[in-house]
Structure 1
Amino acid sequence: MSRNQDVKYFLTRRREAVSPAEYGFATTGRRVKGLRREEVAQLAAVSVSWYTWLEQGRSISISHGALQRIARVLKLSPVEQDYLEDIVLGHRHSPARTSRQLPEEVIAMVDALNPHPAFVRSANMDILYWNEAAKNEIFDWSAVEANDRNSLKLMFINSDYRKIIHDWDTAAKHTISAFRSNYAAGKQTEEFEAVISTLDQQSADFRRMWNYHDVSKIGTGNKAIIGKDGNISRYTYTSLEVENLPGVFVLFYLKTPGS
């Protein structure tokens, strides 16, 4: 999907999600859900034709201020606002292509986090390194081909991985929305597009969820893993970007007491 289409579908879906009543507009006699284009334009103090062209993904002159006003009208979250600016104005940062050769100190740090699970992941969700606890408690990435060691691919097309994810639907939506946010923010898109192409061909669930156009960030959160014995282990996790390695993250898992 092109970035013009991303703009179109993202704005359309967010516009449909806002109730006209929130802004005092009548809710009867409408052919479309949510706000009309002319109502967004009016509330954001831009012309109807300009907003229409923006939503269509046309090449127009766009100011940061106008996008901020539109974001407020559509009640976008900070993450959604960042995503809108990325796909309309361009990338906020340009990380270099992720190196597959990690510094020794990063590897040593991940190993030292045993007995807690930890692993290294790139912005496009390729798994680059993991410690023994992650292998034993989360997933054994060494059991799959190197090209398939990707959290998003595993989530949608690896049956063994899918079985261990408790509340798979929620976890899959969160993973795909974080991937979309990373994709919009970086200039090195080839690695992202290779993942998208594979999943678009192989997973109907991916195609359905990709069209939701949800975005989020992976900073901290919760994870529930179903063990071989059928018991559920619950974790909190933290994701930290490695300094001097833009687009490379260490994820640390801490088991919830009593899990």
Structure 2
Amino acid sequence: MTTMAQDSTADAAGAVQPAGGAAIRRHELAAFLRSRRERIAPEQAGLPRGARRRTPGLRREEVAQLSAVGVTWYTWLEQARNIQVSVQVLDALARTLMLDASERAHLFQLAGATDPTPAASCASVTPALRELLRRLEPVPACIQNSRYDILAYNRTYGRLFGDLDAIPPEDRNCMLLVHTNQDWQDAVVHLEETQRLMAARLRAALAGHLGEPAWKMLLKRLKTASPEFRENWERYEVVGTRTKTKEFRNAYVGHLTLEHTDLWLGPEVGARMVTYTPKDEETRERLEKLLELACGAAPVR
């Protein structure tokens, strides 16, 4: 994880930068990390303040502990030492320091790294696909990749499990939300069965993405945050994609019975449009009402 770099460095696009430019970026990164660390109160991070605390915000060792990195290594980072930083560590630091989307992008840019999360870029989601999502309303629909990241969605999908708009883009992952978000868990009628099935589908999809940073980051978060996921993951079950009837307890309009369908966007089993069509007239009427309630939100995210 920590290796000493040479006098020249390559940026995220692969271009080699002179030592002077790299040094400037390291000092900017160090200053940025210090400024973000000092603005976070211990209580915000779930830590006791203590009577003898003099450091504004978090201490270096606290950031290191919360991010699961070595204290010495993190200290070197704030001292602008010439060390390399993995995208997994940058992701952990971004979460510990509670960075918003712009700050997260700035962190990765200063580190000369490419953010692997879908929050950074969704180039595959074209304006035509966003228009299609809108035209499907009130049918809830979204675009996901094989990792269950939600890349775009319409208004009824945004209110299907709660308020998706309120969730940071980098956390909009169905697998993560169904294991860690209370609103999503309350909305799923058969939660245990759903969690087990989704873990089995994720394992099947993982075979084509072994070793990829974004997948490693997601698995680490899930194993750390959810005992249920750890248990299901260790079953080593594998399930392919299939159409399925699902039931939800929507917080706004009540019980919904929906037919889940995956519409693949290419020949590879990767990005797909997920739709939830109503199974009965009562559900259809409730989706119409849900769209009415959601009309104050942005058309498609």
Query: TM-score scaled by structure 1?
Result: 0.58
Partner of 1:238: 261
Which of 91, 95, 100 is residue 122 of structure 2 equivalent to?
100
Is 1:112 aligned with 2:135?
yes
Structure 1 residue 188 displacement after superposition: 6.7
SS of aligned partner of 1:120: strand
Rounded to whole Å, the distance in 1 between the matches of 2:268 and 2:122 is 11
Partner of 2:240: 217
Is 1:206 aligned with 2:229?
yes
SS of aligned partner of 1:215: coil
Assess, with a 3 A threshold, how the Cα gap between structure 1 residues 139 and 179 changes in structure 2: closer, same or farther: farther
Partner of 2:173: 150
Which of 250, 254, 258 is residue 273 of structure 2 equivalent to?
250
Structure 1 residue 239 displacement after superposition: 0.3
Rounded to whole Å, the distance in 1 between the matches of 2:252 and 2:122 is 34
On the 8 A contact 1:118/1:252 being kept in 2, the answer is yes
Rounded to whole Å, the distance in 1 between the matches of 2:267 and 2:134 is 20
**Which stretches of structure 1, 4 residues or longer, exceed 6 Å deviation after superposition?**
none
Which of 184, 187, 190 is residue 161 of structure 1 equivalent to?
184
Q: Percent identity among equivalent residues?
A: 19
Rounded to whole Å, the distance in 2 between the matches of 1:206 and 1:132 is 29
- Unmatched segments (≥5 aa) in structure 1: 1-96
Partner of 2:60: none
SS of aligned partner of 2:272: strand
On the 8 A contact 1:117/1:138 being kept in 2, the answer is no
Rounded to whole Å, the distance in 2 between the matches of 1:242 and 1:230 is 31
Structure 1 residue 230 displacement after superposition: 8.1
Q: RMSD value over aligned CA atoms?
A: 2.2
Structure 1 residue 180 displacement after superposition: 0.8
Is 1:197 aligned with 2:234?
no
On the 8 A contact 2:161/2:251 being kept in 1, the answer is no
Structure 1 residue 167 displacement after superposition: 1.1
Query: TM-score scaled by structure 2?
Result: 0.50
Assess, with a 3 A threshold, how the Cα gap between structure 1 residues 188 and 223 changes in structure 2: closer, same or farther: farther
Assess, with a 3 A threshold, how the Cα gap between structure 1 residues 137 and 157 changes in structure 2: closer, same or farther: closer
Rounded to whole Å, the distance in 2 between the matches of 1:238 and 1:203 is 27
Counting matched residue pairs gives: 163
Structure 1 residue 244 displacement after superposition: 7.0
Letter in 1 for 2:147: N
On the 8 A contact 1:117/1:253 being kept in 2, the answer is yes
Rounded to whole Å, the distance in 2 between the matches of 1:105 and 1:230 is 30
Letter in 1 for 2:192: D
Partner of 1:128: 151
SS of aligned partner of 1:250: strand
Rounded to whole Å, the distance in 1 between the matches of 2:236 and 2:157 is 30
Partner of 1:11: none
Structure 1 residue 136 displacement after superposition: 2.7
Structure 1 residue 206 displacement after superposition: 1.0
Rounded to whole Å, the distance in 1 between the matches of 2:142 and 2:253 is 23
On the 8 A contact 1:115/1:133 being kept in 2, the answer is yes
